[in-house]
Amino acid sequence: MSFTKAFQGFVSSAKDAGTNAMAGRMIRRYIEKYGELQAFEINSAQKWIDVELLLKGESGPVRVTIENYELARKGEKLFLRLNRLKASREWLHLVLQDYGAGREIEIPAQYSSAIEMAL
């Protein structure tokens, strides 16, 4: 592996670590009604997000993966497009396929600049 590729990988990993912390704080606020965030990871180079949740009523954690996400700016607003969704529970996977895949989620203004730069 060349020095340039190794350095780019290091920078990408560091960027993702900072983004993981910021996005994790944002997501915690939005899901507290449904459960708690246990783990959160973003890989901006491969365009995936992995979330582990302990949902109310579930006996164990549930993993949700967003693959091939996209960011799109529409005027002043930034949106995250959820292209492919997977879940570790079949019932949730089916709900995400029916109601989540292809959906765009508006990123709150206070986070949009940082997320846009990071992802």
Sequence-distant (≥ 6) Cβ neighbours of residue 78 within 8 angstroms: 71, 72, 106, 107, 112, 115, 116
pLDDT of residue 27: 78
Q: Which contiguous run of DSSP H or E holds residue 83?
A: none
pLDDT of residue 35: 94
pLDDT of residue 114: 77
10-residue mean pLDDT profile of the chain (119 residues): values are 44 53 74 91 90 94 96 93 96 95 90 77
